Structure 1
């Protein structure tokens, strides 16, 4: 059976990551959370007080960064490791969420991660989610999906995710953060969030995760077969 690359793009909180994880498992593909990679760099920036307006400082920081994904035996998900340390919980906190779009907009950061992501996809059999996967990282991906959802649906999902991790946040704060990230992601100069011309739109506002997965799985199997 031939293998393909699957690109899932869309706004923050649209269910991309959860859907991509399950989809990859069903296809026995590699799952790559590109957003987690940007979050890891954002965490490094925060912890090391990197001056984002200083190109040399950013480039020096990138040379000091190694990002890995390792299987967590307890939940069977890949955790993110930054320079050998598990930072899966840290990168999901609000202080990182609040700055990740700012860090992601930096040209040197995007070039650094896009190169790593493209290397992963060379052998095919990859499900990757993010903002520029279908347009920049995998422009030749056999299946591209652009996932959309209302701001209300996305905020509710993010609230549930964060509460499950014991984080105290309110719905209005999440909604404002999502709206801010939508604007930053869509208007940034480097690889802005946009739908690839050949991507398939899926509105997930009223879909369960299972329904999202089923829709995309059927699309993938049509191509594979």
Structure 2
């Protein structure tokens, strides 16, 4: 089986739209692999932060991206031999990731690493440019959106459940700024692919959203 013949479902969308959770559950339902591309950018941001950087050095951030010592195993995310799944979900790292992700050199450094996740029997990939740049030949492209206020509420609940302090008003402002930065960047901006299906999850639960994606896949006459 050639790489191009391996089916891919891409789920793109803004921060806190739920795309990571949905992608993971869709992958599990289909028995496929999953790629959380945002984790790679957050890992790059974490590496930059640990090196004392503030995201202002494109070449330095790209070097960090190329040299990432990371592994995804046992349901965890590991960097340099330590589990960092919770650490990369901190808002400060998320904001830094949004900044370094705007650099073309960083995106280029991570492009082939992301494409390498494409393996039989299939891949569900979530991010911001999965359907437009990384896997433009994907069998199904979904753009998962949600109202920014609802996304802020979800992120607030998520952080509180993990024991992190969070201010809802600050989260809402951060999301608005991050949305603008992601949509307005010159290289690989956050935008729905021309052939993507828009799914608004503002009033949908996780199970309902997962089922919508699975139904879209089934409707194309493609076997699970």
Q: Same fold (TM over 0.5)?
A: yes
1:31 equivalenced with 2:25 (yes/no): no
Report the aligned-residue RMSD: 1.7
What residue in structure 2 maps to residue 175 of structure 1? 172
Q: Distance in 2 between matches of 1:29 and 1:67?
A: 21
- What's the secondary structure of 1:163's corresponding residue? helix
Question: Any conservation in 1 of the 2:6–2:118 contact (CA below 8 Å)?
Answer: no
Q: Distance in 2 between matches of 1:109 and 1:124?
A: 29
Equivalent residues, number: 218
Report the Cα offset of residue 34 of structure 1: 0.5
Report the Cα offset of residue 84 of structure 1: 2.3
Question: Any conservation in 1 of the 2:44–2:68 contact (CA below 8 Å)?
Answer: yes
Question: Any conservation in 1 of the 2:58–2:100 contact (CA below 8 Å)?
Answer: no
* Contiguous gaps of at least 5 residues in structure 2: none
Report the Cα offset of residue 52 of structure 1: 4.1
Distance 1:52-1:150 versus aligned 2 partners, 3 A rule: closer
- What's the secondary structure of 1:144's corresponding residue? strand
Q: Distance in 2 between matches of 1:148 and 1:59?
A: 29
1:126 equivalenced with 2:129 (yes/no): no
* Contiguous gaps of at least 5 residues in structure 1: 72-77
What residue in structure 1 maps to residue 52 of structure 2? 49
Q: Distance in 1 between matches of 2:66 and 2:26?
A: 33
Q: Distance in 1 between matches of 2:121 and 2:187?
A: 25
Distance 1:178-1:128 versus aligned 2 partners, 3 A rule: same
Q: Distance in 1 between matches of 2:181 and 2:148?
A: 15
Question: Any conservation in 2 of the 1:50–1:61 contact (CA below 8 Å)?
Answer: no
- What's the secondary structure of 2:193's corresponding residue? coil
- What's the secondary structure of 1:146's corresponding residue? strand
Report the Cα offset of residue 51 of structure 1: 6.3
Q: Distance in 2 between matches of 1:173 and 1:51?
A: 20
- What's the secondary structure of 2:182's corresponding residue? helix
Question: Any conservation in 1 of the 2:11–2:142 contact (CA below 8 Å)?
Answer: yes
What residue in structure 1 maps to residue 99 of structure 2? 102
TM-score by length of 2: 0.92
